[in-house]
């Protein structure tokens, strides 16, 4: 079984989980491991290593190239693990992945296909609005 784990800077994950639970009513189905401003890098790296050894994860990181993403990627590289890392997440992407994969799917190739489709859908769902939209121009 794959579990969903959020990682990022500060309270980003905490806020995302709070909104996810408010919208879905699903409590306690997501886990998180955040790099906080008071946390030493080595402590975070050890927590990451311990966490990814426990299960297969769908890991969602806040920023492409950010420290949490890099630490998870480095730890995954050194461990024989079928976990998947996605960086640059947002709420619609999280919701789409959760509802399409849930906790039932164990086939890594199917999971990767769903994730690729969810990322593409997330990109397509972004739009800019300005005052001309409100006025109907």
State the Cα–Cα distance between residues 12 and 85, nearest whole angstrom: 17
Q: What is the pLDDT of residue 129?
A: 86
Q: According to the model, what pLDDT value does residue 34 have? A: 98
Tell me if the pTM is above 0.85: yes
Give the span between the Cα atoms of 6 and 94, in whole angstroms.
9
Among residues 54, 101, 49, the alpha carbon closest in space to that of 76 is found at 49
In this prediction, residue 106 carries a pLDDT of 78
* CATH numeric code, 2-126: 3.40.50.510
Distance from C-alpha of 47 to C-alpha of 60, rounded to nearest angstrom:
16
Residue 104 has a pLDDT of 63
pLDDT digits (tens, 9 = 90+) for 66-92: 999 999 999 999 886 789 999 999 999
Scanning the chain, the segments in alpha helix (DSSP H) are: 12-24, 41-54, 67-77, 91-101, 108-124, 131-135
Asked whether 84 and 109 are in contact (CB, 8 A), the reply is no
pLDDT at 131: 82
Strands 2-9 vs 56-61: parallel, antiparallel or unpaired: parallel
CB-based burial label for 103 (10 Å; 0-12, 13-18, 19+): exposed
For 9, list phi and psi in degrees, rounded to 5: -95, 140
What does the domain layout of the chain look like in residue ranges? 2-126
Which residues of the chain fall short of a pLDDT of 50? none
Longest dimension (CA), the chain: 55
């Amino acid at each position: 079984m794959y579990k969903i784990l959020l990682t990022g800077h500060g309270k980003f994950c905490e806020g995302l989980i709070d909104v996810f639970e408010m919208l879905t009513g699903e409590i306690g189905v997501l886990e998180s491991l955040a790099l906080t401003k008071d946390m030493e890098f080595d402590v975070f790296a050890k927590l990451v290593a311990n966490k990814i050894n426990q299960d297969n994860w769908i890991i969602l990181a806040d920023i492409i190239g950010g420290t949490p993403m890099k630490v998870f990627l480095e730890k995954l590289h050194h461990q024989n693990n079928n976990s998947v890392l996605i960086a640059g997440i947002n709420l619609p992407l999280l919701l789409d992945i959760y509802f399409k994969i849930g906790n039932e799917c164990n086939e890594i190739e199917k999971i990767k296909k769903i994730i690729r489709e969810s990322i593409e859908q997330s990109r397509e769902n972004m739009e800019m609005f300005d005052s001309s939209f409100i006025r109907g121009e």
